[in-house]
Amino acid sequence: MRLRLAQCLLPMAAGLAAGGCWAQDALRGKLLYHDVGRLSGSGVNCIDCHGGVPGGLHGIGRAAGRPEVIEAAIAAIHQMAPLRGRLGRADLLDLAAYLARPDVPSPDLRPGTVGIDGVFVRGERVAFEVTVGGTAAATVRIVNAGTIAVRLRSGPRIAGVHAGLFDVTASDCSAGLELAAGRACSIAVTFRAAVPTGGLRSASLDVGHDWVGGGTALALIGHGVPVR
């Protein structure tokens, strides 16, 4: 980070256009804006209080291209106290670069499912319904609707109390995959309505990546319908 930053600042100091370097910083700033709570351990994100920008709430627009305004706000504003001591110079520069360029090209991951008609339905929840003893299948799709690629850090992982009832039977969402803008990857998931239990079972399906949240998660809800 430091190295890249130094390379970026040199042409600026020399009065030259910073070019792609600026965009690079703004992209990391966008990530921080949405995810600084996780990445710095502050537990709060700029977006929580200042909204999705542009315009922004609480005068945040004043910090566009001005890291010192963010620094002063963190020091002075009571609500921003959780951020104190957590952001370095590079973080402040990147946040200010993002506020100056909120339309910076970025990934935009959208999870959803594919119906039997092949139509993609966006959503963070997959519902299965099957007679007890049977198995139901669904296809999850993760679409990158953004304008640049995102790298997947893991393949699909199922976790939660009833993880054992859900299975990934096929997936091309694999660790290391660079999901280009406009592309999608798919995960085939099944739910087994184990005998003799009826009722609702749940787990979560997660794919790790290097964008906001560090991963995309879907809730898996399995409904075992008792045989009549």
CB of 136 to ligand HEC, least distance (A): 41
CA atoms 65, 62, 71, 24: torsion sign: negative
Structural tokens at position 164: 């054992």
**Which of 40, 144 has the CB closer to ligand HEC?**
40
Cis amide bond preceding 196, omega within 30 = yes
CB of 30 to ligand HEC, least distance (A): 11
CB of 105 to ligand HEC, least distance (A): 20
CB of 77 to ligand HEC, least distance (A): 5
CB of 79 to ligand HEC, least distance (A): 4
* Long-range pairs, 44-51, Cβ under 8 A, ≥24: 44/80, 44/82, 44/83, 46/95, 49/79
Residue 53 DSSP code? S
What spatial distance separates the first Cα and last Cα of the chain, rounded to whole Å? 62
**Which of 29, 156 has the CB closer to ligand HEC?**
29
**Which of 56, 222 has the CB closer to ligand HEC?**
56
**Which of 49, 149 has the CB closer to ligand HEC?**
49
**Which of 44, 114 has the CB closer to ligand HEC?**
44
* Long-range pairs, 122-126, Cβ under 8 A, ≥24: 123/218, 124/217, 124/218, 124/219, 125/218, 125/219, 125/221, 126/189, 126/205, 126/218, 126/219, 126/220, 126/221
Q: Which residues bind ligand HEC (CB under 6 A)?
A: 36, 44, 46, 48-50, 58-60, 62-63, 69-70, 73, 77, 79-80, 83, 95
In the chain the beta strands, taken as DSSP E runs, fall at 109-114, 120-122, 125-131, 135-144, 150-159, 166-171, 178-179, 184-192, 199-209, 215-225
**Which of 58, 122 has the CB closer to ligand HEC?**
58
Letter for the amino acid at 58? H
CB of 68 to ligand HEC, least distance (A): 10
